[in-house]
């Protein structure tokens, strides 16, 4: 019973957080957004729009483009990279990765694949996956082949705003063994 209550409270928190993200990302074209919202499809674990979010992140990482990387998050998105930094806005994410791409992540690439997609509501999906940060010269194409220390487990919460999914929460952890 306690576990069920904890799960329900966590799901409710995500619903409330996604509502705040929608307000935080609202535009002047609310009427147009409302029309689009009426036409949107329900969340589906195989929906390409959800699966595109990590691919947009990977492309921005591979281009070492901190601003495009950060633009894949809601304005109030949170990220906890595998080094434990705690980033609480799109601007903090952009600033962090501007330095990271000029420093420790210079020349790196990111690969990954979802292991599960769970729809919590029509507009919120949790994506779990396996990924890897590739060093210059690495040719891995499957995250399972990436060596320990470069391989990461990720959990992302994506929210839909105007029929586009963005990262709301991103957490990654280095695989230890």
Q: What is the pLDDT of residues 86-133, one digit of tens each?
A: 999 999 999 999 999 999 999 999 999 999 999 999 899 999 999 999
Number of Cβ within 10 Å of residue 130's Cβ equals: 18
Q: How confident is the model at residue 170 (pLDDT cuts 50, 70, 90)?
A: very high
Cβ-contact 111, 131 below 8 angstroms = yes
- When the pLDDT of each residue in the chain is averaged and rounded to a whole number, the result is 82
Report which of residues 135 and 8 the model is more confident about.
135
pLDDT at residue 174, rounded to an integer: 94
Q: For the chain, state the CA radius of gyration.
A: 17
Q: How confident is the model at residue 46 (pLDDT cuts 50, 70, 90)?
A: low
Pairing of strands 164-174, 73-80: parallel
Mean pLDDT score, 40-47: 68
d(CA 76, CA 70): 11
> pTM of this prediction?
0.74
Q: Which of 9-23, 34-48, 50-64 has the lowest mean pLDDT?
A: 9-23
Q: How confident is the model at residue 60 (pLDDT cuts 50, 70, 90)?
A: very high
pLDDT at residue 43, rounded to an integer: 77
d(CA 143, CA 84): 21
Report which of residues 169 and 6 the model is more confident about.
169
Strands (DSSP E) contained in the chain are 73-80, 109-119, 124-134, 151-161, 164-174
Residues in contact with 48: Cβ distance below 8 Å, sequence separation at least 6, in sequence order: none
d(CA 21, CA 19): 5
Burial class (CB in 10 A: 0-12, 13-18, 19+), 171: middle
Helix, strand, coil percentages for the chain (3-state, nearest 5): 40, 30, 30
Q: What is the pLDDT of residues 130-163, one digit of tens each?
A: 999 999 999 999 999 999 999 999 999 999 998 8
């Amino acid at each position: 019973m306690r576990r069920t209550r904890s799960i329900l409270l966590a799901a409710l928190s995500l619903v409330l957080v996604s509502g705040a993200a929608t307000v935080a990302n609202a535009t002047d074209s609310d009427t147009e957004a409302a029309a689009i919202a009426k036409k949107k499809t329900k969340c589906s674990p195989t929906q390409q729009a959800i699966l595109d979010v990590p691919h947009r992140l990977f492309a921005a990482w591979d281009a070492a483009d901190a601003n495009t990387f950060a633009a894949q998050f809601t304005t109030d998105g949170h990220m906890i990279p595998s080094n434990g930094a705690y980033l609480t806005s799109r601007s903090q994410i952009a600033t962090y990765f501007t330095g990271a791409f000029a420093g420790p992540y210079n020349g790196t690439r990111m690969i990954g694949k979802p292991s599960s997609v769970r729809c919590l509501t029509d507009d919120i999906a949790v994506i779990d996956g396996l990924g890897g940060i590739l060093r210059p010269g690495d040719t891995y194409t499957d995250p399972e082949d990436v060596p320990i220390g470069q391989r990461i487990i990720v959990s992302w919460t994506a929210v839909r705003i105007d029929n586009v999914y963005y990262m709301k929460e991103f957490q990654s952890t280095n695989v230890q063994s």
